[in-house]
Chains A and B, each alone.
Chain A
Amino acid sequence: MAEVRVRTGPPASGGIGTGPGRLLVTLYAVFTVGAASRSIYQLSTRFDEAPLAYVLSALAALVYGFITVALVRGGERARALAVGCCVAELAGVLVVGTWTVLDPAAFPDATVWSDYGMGYLFIPLALPVTGLLWLRRHRRPAA
């Protein structure tokens, strides 16, 4: 075979952490750092004030962290993990959001997911939906 050219550059399909995925990685990293540092600070200094809110913030940080790592690592298993975490994240936003609307007394202090993430421009609600749509496009490994 003559003249077989090696294609350079990213593969046609790309990974889940490249292209638009790079933006998702950035946003998830921001929310991981934000939620994690916030919950570590609050859990260590004033756990008694709003234990439920702070534990939920820590949980959110954990979910965000898993998704960030999964997106960066790529591969089919990471993709599956990211899908699971995005579903958990979406469920978290919806459940905690509804909970804070129905029973504000249970939350003396806010979490990332309070009022469906209103304090964070609803990005916590938009992220998992965007994430799931993005991951759907990568359901099949590159043929």
Chain B
Amino acid sequence: MLTPLTVAVAVTALALAAWCGHAAYRDQPTKDWHFIGMAVVTVLALAQLVVGVVLLAQGREPADGTVVFVSYLLGAAAAIPAVGFLSLAERTRWGSVTVAAGAVVLAVLQVRLHDIWGGGVG
């Protein structure tokens, strides 16, 4: 899998988690700027989905199997939009905590994606 992209998604996701965690600490709901941040992370995750599918189409084989790999890619792409919608419904600090939690989950998914692909660049 494209390692720089995986790292980029993980790092931006952790940054988003810290940012929304800070908003929660200050007792604030998610604001427009947070949603722009979520959009950036989501675009990266979608790019990863596309790259992953292209690699599969080229005949590459993930170490742990195609089904697991695609499931994780889809989960990674859906994570931030899902918590983003939840935070729209929860206009309190807990909406911010929820987004932070979802972003941490996304970062963990990146580590797993790296393992599933079999590590390395390619």
- Interface of A (DSSP majority class): helix
Residues of B within 8 A of A (CB): 67-68, 71, 75, 82-83, 86, 89-90, 92, 94-95, 97-98, 101-102, 105
Q: How far is the CA of A65 from the CA of B105 in the complex (A)?
A: 18
Cβ–Cβ contact A26 & B98, under 8 A: yes
Interfacial residues of chain A within 1-33, with CB under 8 A of chain B in the complex: 18-23, 25-27, 29-30, 33
Task: From the candidates A18, A27, A30, name the one contacting B90 in the complex (CB within 8 A).
Answer: A18
Please name the residue on chain B nearest to A27 by beta carbon.
Answer: B101
Q: How far is the CA of A20 from the CA of B41 in the complex (A)?
A: 24
Total number of A-B contacts with CB less than 8 angstroms? 34
Cβ–Cβ contact A22 & B75, under 8 A: no
Q: How far is the CA of A128 from the CA of B105 in the complex (A)?
A: 18
- Interface of B (DSSP majority class): helix
Cβ–Cβ contact A23 & B71, under 8 A: no
Known contacts: A22-B95, A23-B97, A26-B98. The answer to whether A41 contacts B86 by CB under 8 A is no
Which of A18, A21, A23, A27 has the most chain B CB atoms closer than 10 A to its own CB?
A: A23
Say which size band chain A's interface belongs to. Answer: 10 to 19
Task: From the candidates A22, A30, A33, name the one contacting B94 in the complex (CB within 8 A).
Answer: A22
Task: From the candidates B75, B82, B101, name the one contacting A23 in the complex (CB within 8 A).
Answer: B101
A-B contact pairs, 15 of them (CB 8 A): A18-B90, A19-B92, A19-B94, A20-B94, A20-B97, A22-B86, A22-B90, A22-B94, A23-B101, A25-B86, A26-B83, A26-B102, A30-B102, A30-B105, A41-B68
Smallest CB–CB gap between B23 and chain A, Å?
14
Smallest CB–CB gap between A35 and chain B, Å?
13
